[in-house]
Structure 1
Amino acid sequence: MRSLILSVAALALVGSVNVASAGCLTGAAAGGVAGHMAGHHGLLGAAAGCAVGHHMAKKKGK
């Protein structure tokens, strides 16, 4: 439940940050939820999601 609340809070912050950080936040939110559902590994999922989201945002920005 805590990771769901953190995910919602992270998504709320997306509108107030730049593109690369937004990619990290959205990726972390999605990865955190997915990691939690896959076996209570929310932090690991959030870290991986942040890396992927940041990479995709930079790629899209070019």
Structure 2
Amino acid sequence: MRKIVEAMVGQGFQKPGTGLFLLCPICASEIGQQCISVPLYPLHGAIHPERVEMCRETLMAAG
């Protein structure tokens, strides 16, 4: 993922601020798709918090 973010930034795009550019580790939503509610992982917005956290970690690693 870090290489994808670096390539995007290298082409002039801003770093994405949400997890929509990553696959969801909870509900397996594809890139660009909103998450869906699954048992034991209720959805309180458009994206699971785990996906947002994964995005944050990826962006921090990319600098």
TM-score of the pair, normalised by structure 2: 0.37
Q: Which has the larger radius of gyration?
A: 2
Larger helix percent:
1
